[in-house]
Chains A and B, each alone.
Chain A
Amino acid sequence: MKNYLLSPKFMRSALPGVSLAILLMAIFYTQPRAMSYFGLNLMLQYTVPIALATIAQMFILTVNDLDLSIGPFVGLTACIGATLLQTDPVFGVMALLACIAAYAGLGALIHWRNLPSIVVTLGMSFVWLGIAVLILPTPGGTAPAWIKAIMGFKVTFQLFGYNVVPPFPVFAAAIIAIVVHLGLMRSSYGVVLRGAGGNPRAISRAGWSMLKIKMTMFALAGLFGVLAGLSLIGLTSAADAHIADRYTLYSIAGVILGGGEFVGGRVSPAGAVIGAMTLTLAGSFLIFLRISPDWQVGAQGGILILVLALRALINWREAR
């Protein structure tokens, strides 16, 4: 048992959870008020869209690509959600489906012409932003009431005779993690999808279409990008073309923090969700500590480097 707990494999998978727990304890210590239903709800609320965007990024990373356009894409879907989806639901849904199809098309293009995904998605980030500005030239719009209702949902269930009320963001994050985990880590097609990142040649020799795999992964990323945009306007109640610009880097950092790797199809859905939470909480923690804003971004980066250094240390032990 002790050997298992100290094994690099266990330590690596436990690292995201442990860093989140340490950060939570530090927050509760500096700001005891945060240790309540209301507090957790407030602090973690914005993790839902970030977690969804992180999952989207994770799908792309699984097939050894990188998506530099997920932030503006989430911004675009938020703008569609706050305008078209509200005024003309049918047209709005079609627009969102077109977005997902566009993502699948990108996957096909990248595979077909063997293009570097970084260049293609960087270019597309300006396209998404441009369309978003066309749809919503000045910040505004209104989120459909049903989205707001979902995001403001209060979950209650009975456990050993007690009424349990988990904060909605925690509940939503758990659902996202479990659904994606079952789909990607436990299903047989999920294994193929991950294998496409680990050893693409072996997968295509075995008769699987790499084109289909890339399109599936990019479409899934598009789907989760749409969900991220919709959940975001459910919280803010209005949209702005620039609302999610930072999500690009947040999502990459979230996947890596959660134990994912840039190559090799080595990802963890649960880890990615935890990574997204860690990133958001790191921001809150620094505000509670009253660190000057000039240093905050740097300090956030410092927390990231610290966690990654720990992981490098574990990997190094494993290699030895």
Chain B
Amino acid sequence: MMFKKTLIAAAAVGLTLASGAAQADTSGKKIALSNNYAGNSWRQAMLKSWDKVTSKAVADGIVAEAPAFTTAENQVTEQAAQIQNLILQGYDAIVINAASPDALNGAVKQACDAGIVVVSFDGVVTEPCAWRIAVDFKTMGSIQLDYLAKRMPKGGNVLEIRGLAGVFVDDEISAGIHAGAKKHSQFKIVGSVHGNWAQDVSQKAVAGILPSLPEVKAVVTQGGDGYGAAQAFKAAGRPTPLIIMGNRHDELTWWKEQKDANGYETMSVSIAPGVGTLAFWVAQQILDGAEVPKDMVVPFLQIDQDNLEQNLANTEAGGVANVEYSLDDAKATIAASK
């Protein structure tokens, strides 16, 4: 037994040596995740993906450890204190999903000054010394109109479902949608409601505005609201328009049902919660000495008519469609941003 273990160990060493010096450099490094919030399905999926990918990376000897730390409440001061404690614990890199783009800059600067690599994603920080893997929310809005223009060259009336009022993400996606509508002038946004990224709220909001609307050809969304919109149209007895989905399990399930029943066609777009693992690999690459631009953009996870089944099968009930990123994906993202 002992002998066998030794053999395996020896083989492992051999393998590591064979795979080149690029991996050996970070085997002693520690990377921490500082996360500000864990209260919705997206964040839960993000933490799960992080755990899955990093524990494999630790087992493979790529990094020494990569624990995740979440603050109990979504509070700037708490996360700043958490980052300071991570500095003290001697991590080599800190990956951050930040509670505020600006108010953590003090703590982030301290981390940089202590020689720590800081990579922010999703909730990015503006401190210049940190790396950013940002979501291009504007494009996420405008590609919906691009898709509509392809499907309906003649255009028509469009209903917009927005997110939570006053949140930066909502403003950005909506700005993208309106820019798209300007570009494809055959589309007219006849109404906007706030669905708060939740199916029940969206259903109520859409049901409330529907009686005042002319025929609606399409519904543009921000994710987490497509299923509710479909239910509202059904309840009102109106024909189901083309509804853009947001990768949620209930949305994809509904889409699949419609597709099987009457060949319903649409598309679905959102950010994969696995983007945290992309940030992990980027941090590992920086520690490895790779040259990485400070600003990168997260690729969207887009689901189309032909890969719907495959994505639906991989999505947990009540969850969000997800992909976990690999080292090669990170290298590709880095190369694309240069």
Please name the residue on chain B nearest to A239 by beta carbon.
Answer: B103
Which of A207-215, A230-238, A308-316 is the contact stretch? A230-238
Asked if A33 contacts B89 (CB within 8 A), the reply is yes
- A243–B84 CA distance with the chains assembled, in angstroms: 17
Asked if A236 contacts B106 (CB within 8 A), the reply is yes
Asked if B105 contacts A238 (CB within 8 A), the reply is yes
Q: Does A140 contact B (CB under 8 A)?
A: yes
- A239–B78 CA distance with the chains assembled, in angstroms: 14
Q: Does A204 contact B (CB under 8 A)?
A: no
- A288–B103 CA distance with the chains assembled, in angstroms: 23
Asked if B84 contacts A42 (CB within 8 A), the reply is yes
Note all chain A residues with C-beta closer than 8 A to B107: 236
Q: State which of B76, B80, B89, B105 has its C-beta within 8 Å of the C-beta of A31.
A: B89
**Contact indicator per residue, chain B 75-114, by CB within 8 Å of chain A (1) or not (0):** 1111011101111111000000001111111110110001
Asked if B72 contacts A296 (CB within 8 A), the reply is yes
Write the nearest CB–CB distance from A277 to chain B, whole angstroms: 13
Q: Does B233 contact A (CB under 8 A)?
A: no
Task: Given the known inter-chain contacts A43-B88, A284-B85, please indicate yes or no for A238 contacting B102, CB distance below 8 A.
Answer: yes
Q: Does A225 contact B (CB under 8 A)?
A: no
- A117–B168 CA distance with the chains assembled, in angstroms: 35
Name, among A141, A240, A244, the residue most crowded by chain B CB atoms within 10 Å (CB to CB). A240
Asked if A246 contacts B85 (CB within 8 A), the reply is no
Asked if B85 contacts A288 (CB within 8 A), the reply is yes
Q: Does A45 contact B (CB under 8 A)?
A: yes
- A278–B144 CA distance with the chains assembled, in angstroms: 52
Name, among B75, B102, B103, the residue most crowded by chain A CB atoms within 10 Å (CB to CB). B103
Q: Does A283 contact B (CB under 8 A)?
A: yes
Note all chain A residues with C-beta closer than 8 A to B101: 139-140
- A219–B110 CA distance with the chains assembled, in angstroms: 35
Asked if B88 contacts A243 (CB within 8 A), the reply is no
Please name the residue on chain A nearest to B82 by beta carbon.
Answer: A287
- A294–B72 CA distance with the chains assembled, in angstroms: 6
Note all chain A residues with C-beta closer than 8 A to B86: 287
**Contact indicator per residue, chain A 106-138, by CB within 8 Å of chain B (1) or not (0):** 000000000000000000000000000100011
Q: Does A262 contact B (CB under 8 A)?
A: no
Asked if B104 contacts A236 (CB within 8 A), the reply is yes
Asked if A39 contacts B88 (CB within 8 A), the reply is yes
Q: Does A181 contact B (CB under 8 A)?
A: no
Please name the residue on chain A nearest to B171 by beta carbon.
Answer: A138
- A290–B101 CA distance with the chains assembled, in angstroms: 26
Q: State which of A242, A244, A288 has its C-beta within 8 Å of the C-beta of B89.
A: A288
- A46–B103 CA distance with the chains assembled, in angstroms: 13
Note all chain A residues with C-beta closer than 8 A to B264: none
Q: Does B298 contact A (CB under 8 A)?
A: no
Asked if A240 contacts B84 (CB within 8 A), the reply is no
Please name the residue on chain B nearest to A295 by beta carbon.
Answer: B72
Q: State which of B69, B80, B90, B102 has its C-beta within 8 Å of the C-beta of A287.
A: B69
Q: State which of A43, A237, A239, A244 has its C-beta within 8 Å of the C-beta of B85.
A: A43
Please name the residue on chain A nearest to B74 by beta carbon.
Answer: A242
Asked if A33 contacts B77 (CB within 8 A), the reply is no
Q: Does B315 contact A (CB under 8 A)?
A: no
Asked if B105 contacts A237 (CB within 8 A), the reply is yes
Asked if A293 contacts B105 (CB within 8 A), the reply is no
Note all chain B residues with C-beta closer than 8 A to A238: 100, 102-103, 105
Write the nearest CB–CB distance from B130 to chain A, whole angstroms: 13
Q: Does A245 contact B (CB under 8 A)?
A: yes
Asked if A293 contacts B38 (CB within 8 A), the reply is yes
Asked if B102 contacts A244 (CB within 8 A), the reply is no
Write the nearest CB–CB distance from B115 to chain A, whole angstroms: 12
Task: Given the known inter-chain contacts A31-B89, A33-B88, please indicate yes or no for A283 contacting B81, CB distance below 8 A.
Answer: yes
Write the nearest CB–CB distance from A244 to chain B, whole angstroms: 7
* A273-297 with Cβ < 8 A to chain B: 280, 283-284, 287-288, 290, 293-294, 296-297
Write the nearest CB–CB distance from A24 to chain B, whole angstroms: 14
Q: Does B67 contact A (CB under 8 A)?
A: yes
Q: Does A304 contact B (CB under 8 A)?
A: no
Q: Does A34 contact B (CB under 8 A)?
A: yes
Between-chain CB contacts (< 8 Å), 17 pairs: A34-B88, A42-B84, A42-B88, A49-B77, A133-B166, A139-B101, A232-B77, A235-B106, A237-B106, A238-B105, A240-B76, A243-B100, A244-B77, A245-B75, A284-B81, A287-B69, A293-B72
Interface residues of A (CB under 8 A from B): 31, 33-34, 38-39, 42-43, 45-46, 49, 133, 137-141, 232, 235-240, 242-247, 280, 283-284, 287-288, 290, 293-294, 296-297
Extra 16 A-B pairs, beta carbons < 8 Å, given A46-B81, A246-B73, A290-B67 = A31-B88, A33-B90, A43-B85, A137-B166, A236-B106, A236-B107, A237-B102, A237-B105, A237-B109, A239-B103, A240-B99, A240-B100, A242-B75, A243-B103, A293-B69, A296-B72
Would you list the 7 A-B pairs with minimal beta carbon distance, nearest first? A238-B102, A293-B70, A139-B100, A42-B84, A240-B103, A297-B72, A236-B106
